């Protein structure tokens, strides 16, 4: 099962979200909209594409 989320400057919230779904999905996809925070780095640390 894939988990897809759209973000924009959601670093802190994204970390909590991914922590809750990481063990129940096979794939994490994060679509980012022109971020200025650490959203992409957090997503990658959870194996997101």
1-49 tens-digit pLDDT: 999 999 888 888 999 999 999 999 999 999 988 778 888 889 999 999 8
How far apart CA 7 and CA 30 sit, in angstroms, is 7
CA torsion through residues 10, 17, 19, 6, sign: negative
pLDDT at 10: 86
pLDDT at 27: 96
Interacting residues of 30 by C-beta distance below 8 A, sequence separation 6+: 4, 5, 7, 14, 39, 40, 43, 48, 49
**φ, ψ (nearest 5 deg) of residue 30:** -115, 125
């Amino acid at each position: 099962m894939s988990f897809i989320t759209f973000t924009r400057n959601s670093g802190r919230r994204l970390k909590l979200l991914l922590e809750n779904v990481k063990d129940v999905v096979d794939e994490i996809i994060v679509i980012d909209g022109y971020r200025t925070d650490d959203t992409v780095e957090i997503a990658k640390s959870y194996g997101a594409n």
